C-alpha cells in the first residue's frame, strides 16, 4: 500500500540576533508538513523542534568570503 502523504519541512520564525561579545545567535522553528499525495493539499502541520544556536560564522559575510 502506498503512503498517502508527501512530507515537507518548513522553517518558521527565523531570526539572527547579535552581535553580543562578537557572537551571533540563530533562532528558528522547524515544522513537518503532511500533504495529501492525491490532492497536494496540506493535511496537517506538526511542530518538530526549536533551534537556539550559537553561530560559528558571521552571518554578514560578503559573497566569496
Instruction: Write the pLDDT tens digit of every residue in 26-48.
Output: 999 999 999 999 999 999 999 99
pTM of structure? 0.75
- Binning pLDDT at 50, 70 and 90, where does residue 61 land? low
> Distance between CA atoms of 27 and 14, rounded to whole angstroms?
6
- For the chain, domain boundaries: 5-54
pLDDT confidence of residue 65: 59
Hey, how many other C-beta atoms are within 10 angstroms of the C-beta on 23? 12
Best CA proximity match to 44, nearest among 3, 7, 12, 14: 7
How is residue 10 written as a grid cell?
518548513
* 30: CB partners within 8 A, 6+ apart: 9, 10, 11, 12, 47, 48, 49, 50, 51
* Share above pLDDT 90 across residues of the chain, in percent, rounded to a whole number: 69
Amino acid at each position: 500500500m502506498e503512503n498517502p502523504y508527501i512530507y515537507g519541512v518548513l522553517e518558521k520564525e527565523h531570526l539572527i540576533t547579535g552581535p553580543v561579545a562578537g557572537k551571533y545567535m540563530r533562532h528558528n522553528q522547524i515544522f513537518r508538513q503532511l500533504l495529501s499525495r492525491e490532492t497536494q493539499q496540506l493535511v496537517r502541520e506538526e511542530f518538530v523542534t526549536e533551534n537556539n544556536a550559537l553561530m560559528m560564522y558571521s552571518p554578514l559575510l560578503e559573497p566569496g568570503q
